[in-house]
Chains A and B, each alone.
Chain A
Amino acid sequence: MAMNWLRQLAAKAPVPVYPLLAGNLRTDIQTMGLDPRIEWVASPRHARVLLVAGELSPATDRAFGKVHDQLPGPAASIWWQGQPLDSLADGATILDKADDLGRVAHQLQVDLLSGKHRGEPALCPDEPPEPWQGLGDIGHGGEGMMGGKPYGRSMAMPTDDLRDGLQLDPMAFSLGPFCSFLPPGLEANVTLHGDVVASFEVCSTPYPSLLPGVFEKALEGPVSITELELARARHYLHQLGHALWINQSGTVAHAVFAKARSLKPGESLNKLKKQLIYTGFYRSAGADKGVLGDSQALMTGGVAARACGRGSDARVDDDGYRSLGFKPLVMDRGDAAARWWLWLEEAQRSLQLAHDAGPGHVKTSNTRSVELLRGASRDGQLPEDGTAMLEDLLPGLEWSEAMAVLASLDLSAVQRAGAGAEGTL
């Protein structure tokens, strides 16, 4: 079908894609976003194409339907690393290789613009999800001018504000599990006073992180420290990039993801370090918040614990690392900025270790105690989910501070994909 000139121009724009993560695949998504033919968007309302990454579970069908139907139609989905829902299986677009996303999404955009693809059917019924339940003269549903449940949502009633005790209307809502700024899978009931988090109740924990292949192998036998440390540096840079994106430095985040894709042993990250210092990243929203207590630091492990002054690092138990003169990096501030700072320092040190170890010359020697991307594996025990601590950590923080603190923590459980399996990095 022919397109008019305006649609032909539109077809040349990067495809706005909303990434719906049904698995802990954020790192892969960030790398896929480097393709100039696509553009990740933070809201499904801004997208033409939905990328469903991972295997959906029946428990999330309703949540999936709500996100799917928010894309202004006609829109289409691409399925990657998972099977399409039965209701959308007819003519579904399956992505085999991550590198093909740009081409496939672009073709879908052209088909949608030309009318060749008529869009996918809605999954939710065309009726208000929260029907009007108004009572009284003006249908407000409560007494006087307050209270009640119009549209099934409780109207705000004033309660004491957290900061100054003034009466303020709280706002309660739920978020997740497919929210762009939360860890994939995390679902929470949130109550805000103004823009301050009054309560943060975790309803479902984030999807577990699957160990990258090289870390799987490190639990089974000796592996090249170069390979292991390059994977670690990549991971920390991706974490840092996400924190930058949350704090509105999307361009710098993009550059960090690009850097993470092509890391070389011994490479210097000094330019990035200086840029983050001089542009005030370590003083941005939430930087001085989210200080972990002792038990929280212990639970989280890894960089978060070392940012609180705990020197625990399983690499000191490994002869291979000891031969390279390894010593843990430790800070004592314990806040979000300390974790961001340490991610970058750890990434730099990993690149140096990768260089010093040489290509395959120095290998790990201890399989019982391995420093993973989040905390250590000791005697086969992997780090467990620590999301519950958010219920204590986030209340009292302003919303952007809370989201920045969340972006400074890696709290999902760690899971093995299977011995020797290829990881996601």
Chain B
Amino acid sequence: MTASLTNALLVMAILAIGVYLVAIINRAWANALGHSGAGNPFTAPFYSAASLWVAPANTTEAPDAMAWHLAPVLYLTLAAMGLALVPWSQNLVPVDLTTGIVLWGALEPLATVVIFLHGWSANAHLSMLGAYRYVSLGLSYLLVSMFVLIGVALPAESLQFSAVVESQAGLWNVIRQPLGLPLFLLVGLGISFWGPLNFADSNDLAGGTSSESSGRARLVWQAGRAVMLVAFSAIGATAFLGGWLGPVLPGFVWMILKTMVVLAMALLLGQLIPRFSPDRFLTIAWVLLLPLAFVDLVWAGLEALP
């Protein structure tokens, strides 16, 4: 009971720190790229969060109120569940499931359902269009993600994330399976609809699925997206960069550093790269990324042969 409570508190703490980190790094990149209005990276996130927290709520004409209010909370919950699977060190794993990779694989399609619910339930056309667009692309992300994660499970001979880390004691998967991390990073940008893969909440839809949200609902939705990106970065660091493994420093410090590197890279891509056309990305996903994920899997299988 005490252990469960400690783990829950740990996940909540990582969640809060993760949201803050995303805001800091994103603003730092914006400042570096010449955005004079990004503000102080360390204090501005608090001001923006407070502004959304005290902003009034709103409603639309005939929304599906329960679904509309639940969707941001559910998305944040799914992202938190993803964070719970991350092994921060050998002894610091909130939920060390033997089937962690399977659970992670289940979270991704559930996120698709929640994102659709968020856009659909507002009962507004731009919001609906964002949801529709996301669903039309969702499957192409999910398959890529599963193939690359199965790839890292093969050398570990386990679906447990901590075992995946231990299997990299000799050689990190980023070297062993070089296609894995870039593909996984793309999936992360897609599932959290960030930057070039922001099809759901884009400017050409006035904010898409969140175009009708305000106040706390919008704050929770944005926090959910940030936590999802942190969860992807942490799982990416676990699966491909050797997780807590590293010399001199304690394991959890290595894990935090590696997660931050992946996160910073994802956020920089989000700032720099403009949005693809959904149609073109769908073609790229099925014609290029999915075959590459197959290659990654075959490569991993051959490499794992005794």
Same complex origin of A and B = yes
Contact A74 B56 (CB under 8 A): yes
Contact A180 B206 (CB under 8 A): yes
Among B125, B199, B211, point to the contact of A42 (Cβ < 8 A).
B211
- List B contacts of A6 (CB < 8 A): 50, 53-54
- List A contacts of B30 (CB < 8 A): 251, 254
Contact B274 A248 (CB under 8 A): yes
Contact B36 A252 (CB under 8 A): no
Interface bits A1-45 vs B (CB < 8 Å: 1, else 0):
000001101101110100000000000000001111011011101
The chain B residue with its CB closest to the CB of A401 is B277
Contact A173 B125 (CB under 8 A): yes
CB contact list, A228-284 vs B, under 8 A:
244-252, 254-255, 258-259, 275, 279-281, 284
* A-side interface size class: 35 or more
Contact B202 A14 (CB under 8 A): no
Shortest C-beta distance, B46 to chain A (Å), equals 6
Interface flag for B42 (CB, 8 Å): no
Contact A286 B277 (CB under 8 A): yes
Interface flag for A398 (CB, 8 Å): yes
Contact A248 B34 (CB under 8 A): no
Interface bits B265-305 vs A (CB < 8 Å: 1, else 0):
00000011111111110000000000000000000000000
Contact B218 A16 (CB under 8 A): no
Interface flag for B173 (CB, 8 Å): no
Interface flag for A195 (CB, 8 Å): yes
- List B contacts of A162 (CB < 8 A): none
| Contact of A12 with B47 at beta-carbon distance under 8 Å, contacts A181-B204, A248-B198, A401-B279 already known | yes
> How distant is the Cα of A415 from the Cα of B306 in the complex, in angstroms?
77
Interface bits A45-57 vs B (CB < 8 Å: 1, else 0):
1101000000000
Contact A244 B34 (CB under 8 A): no
Contact B128 A285 (CB under 8 A): no
> How distant is the Cα of A35 from the Cα of B136 in the complex, in angstroms?
38
Interface flag for B203 (CB, 8 Å): yes
> How distant is the Cα of A399 from the Cα of B279 in the complex, in angstroms?
10
Among B39, B43, B62, B213, point to the contact of A45 (Cβ < 8 A).
B213
| Contact of A284 with B277 at beta-carbon distance under 8 Å, contacts A39-B37, A171-B129, A192-B129 already known | yes
Contact B39 A258 (CB under 8 A): no
Interface flag for B205 (CB, 8 Å): yes
Among A9, A39, A194, point to the contact of B50 (Cβ < 8 A).
A9
Shortest C-beta distance, A190 to chain B (Å), equals 9
> How distant is the Cα of A280 from the Cα of B34 in the complex, in angstroms?
19
> How distant is the Cα of A248 from the Cα of B269 in the complex, in angstroms?
12
Contact A284 B276 (CB under 8 A): yes
> How distant is the Cα of A376 from the Cα of B44 in the complex, in angstroms?
46
> How distant is the Cα of A46 from the Cα of B203 in the complex, in angstroms?
13
Contact B34 A42 (CB under 8 A): no
Contact A252 B33 (CB under 8 A): yes
Shortest C-beta distance, B196 to chain A (Å), equals 7
> How distant is the Cα of A346 from the Cα of B215 in the complex, in angstroms?
43
Interface flag for B160 (CB, 8 Å): no
Contact A42 B207 (CB under 8 A): yes
Contact A10 B61 (CB under 8 A): no
> How distant is the Cα of A411 from the Cα of B245 in the complex, in angstroms?
59
Interface flag for B2 (CB, 8 Å): no
Contact B204 A255 (CB under 8 A): no
Contact B58 A246 (CB under 8 A): no
Contact B273 A280 (CB under 8 A): yes
> How distant is the Cα of A117 from the Cα of B15 in the complex, in angstroms?
36
Shortest C-beta distance, A193 to chain B (Å), equals 11
Among B38, B51, B125, B196, point to the contact of A16 (Cβ < 8 A).
B51
Interface flag for A72 (CB, 8 Å): yes
Interface flag for B57 (CB, 8 Å): yes
Interface flag for A179 (CB, 8 Å): yes
Q: List 9 A-B contacts (CB under 8 A).
A: A13-B44, A72-B58, A75-B56, A129-B61, A151-B61, A192-B129, A279-B274, A400-B278, A404-B204
Binding site for A on B (CB under 8 A): 29-30, 33-39, 43-44, 46-48, 50-51, 53-58, 61-62, 125, 128-129, 132-133, 136, 195-196, 198-199, 202-207, 211-215, 218, 271-280
Q: What 4 additional pairs, Cβ within 8 angstroms, besides A6-B54, A34-B37, A128-B61? A: A128-B62, A180-B206, A247-B274, A403-B204
The list of the 3 closest CB pairs from A to B, nearest first, reads A255-B34, A13-B51, A9-B50
